[in-house]
């Protein structure tokens, strides 16, 4: 056989692998099409659409991180950390989470973890892996409600009732000019985060009520736990909160707290 017409073994191997991958994809699409109601969409999605979405999400993650990093005071950035293997591994974990994220806010939360890490000392960064696992378990609403309890560098704000908790969320939503969630959704979020240990709920029991049962229907006070503070320290955009002052006494709830404690951000 003419040597110019011979196919290298490596090329043959690649061609076979490509054929196997195509055959596997065809079988997968055929199987997905059999799923009731959602099969047609899933068969379409598990192909170029999903690959393109993953690329778009990761690109958004990279750009948001880069844009926010440029805005920071260069003197406060730990340049040595940014060139470490530890940072590189966490950055890639964040990118992998971003690739699976279905909301822009979730993508930004994982980027914020890395941005805030660049401003922290080694001890403050020591629980990054654990914090990332908690961030993976909370929704956009959970994260926003958690932010509402104030600067994590100070004791958590305490909502004495469910109405107070909702009013804080409502006022901050209006302050930031974003859509306000429903009261029922906020209460459900607080109860869920109490189960995670990042918020704390104190039940106010009436006579003959059983503690811990039907908590979502009961009156309660709430605040953010130290673990919740650690999560917020990681996910809040730099500059979201105003500097902590010595006193917050004689403030009207929640309006004065909003004006005194939150600077806000165009993207949270």
Higher-pLDDT residue of 263 and 165 is 165
For the segment 79-131, what is each residue's pLDDT rounded down to a tens digit? 999 999 999 999 999 999 999 999 999 999 999 999 999 999 999 999 999 99
Angle at 155 between CA 151 and CA 158, to 5 degrees: 95
Per-residue pLDDT band at 12 (split at 50, 70, 90): very low
- Helices (H), ranges, the chain: 9-33, 39-44, 50-71, 79-82, 85-99, 104-117, 128-135, 140-147, 162-176, 183-196, 226-235, 255-261
Domains and CATH numbers, the chain: 24-136 (no CATH), 139-268 (1.10.10.10)
| pLDDT over 90 (residue 20) | no
- What whole-number percentage of the chain has pLDDT above 70? 80
Contact at 8 Å (CB) between 164 and 189? no
State the pTM of this model: 0.80
Burial of 79 (0-12, 13-18, 19+ CB in 10 A): exposed
Stated as kind and residue range, the H or E segment containing 200 is strand 199-204
**In the block, residue with structure tokens 């560098």:** 153
Cis peptide before 254 (omega within 30 of 0): yes
- DSSP secondary structure letters along 213-235: SSGGGSEEEEEE-HHHHHHHHHH
| pLDDT over 50 (residue 17) | no
Cα–chain-centroid distance for residue 178?
A: 17
Axis crossing angle, helix 140-147 with helix 183-196, rounded to the nearest 10: 80
For the segment 165-209, what is each residue's pLDDT rounded down to a tens digit? 999 999 999 999 999 999 999 999 999 999 999 999 998 756 555
């Amino acid at each position: 056989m003419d040597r110019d017409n011979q196919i290298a073994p490596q090329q043959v191997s690649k061609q076979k692998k490509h054929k196997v991958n195509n055959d596997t994809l065809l079988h997968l699409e055929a199987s997905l099409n059999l799923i009731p109601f959602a099969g047609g969409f899933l068969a379409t999605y598990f192909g170029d659409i999903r690959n393109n979405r993953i690329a778009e999400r990761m690109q958004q993650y990279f750009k948001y991180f880069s844009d926010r990093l440029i805005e920071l005071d260069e003197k406060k950035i730990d340049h040595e950390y940014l060139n470490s293997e530890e940072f590189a591994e966490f950055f890639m974990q964040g990118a992998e989470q971003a690739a699976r994220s279905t909301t822009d806010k979730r993508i930004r939360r994982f980027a914020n973890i890395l941005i805030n890490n660049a401003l922290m000392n080694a001890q403050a960064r020591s629980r990054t892996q654990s914090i990332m696992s908690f961030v993976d378990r909370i929704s956009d609403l959970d994260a926003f409600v958690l932010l509402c309890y104030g600067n994590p560098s100070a004791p958590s704000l305490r909502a004495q009732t469910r109405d107070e908790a909702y009013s804080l969320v409502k006022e901050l939503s209006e302050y930031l000019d974003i859509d306000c969630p429903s009261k029922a959704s906020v209460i459900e979020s607080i109860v869920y985060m109490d189960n995670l240990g990042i918020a704390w709920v104190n039940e106010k029991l009436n006579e003959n009520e059983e503690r811990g049962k039907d908590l979502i229907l009961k009156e309660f006070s709430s605040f953010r736990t130290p673990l919740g503070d650690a999560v917020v320290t990681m996910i809040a955009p730099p500059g979201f909160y105003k500097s902590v002052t010595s006193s917050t006494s004689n403030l009207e709830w929640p309006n004065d707290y909003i004006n005194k404690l939150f600077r806000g951000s165009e993207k949270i």
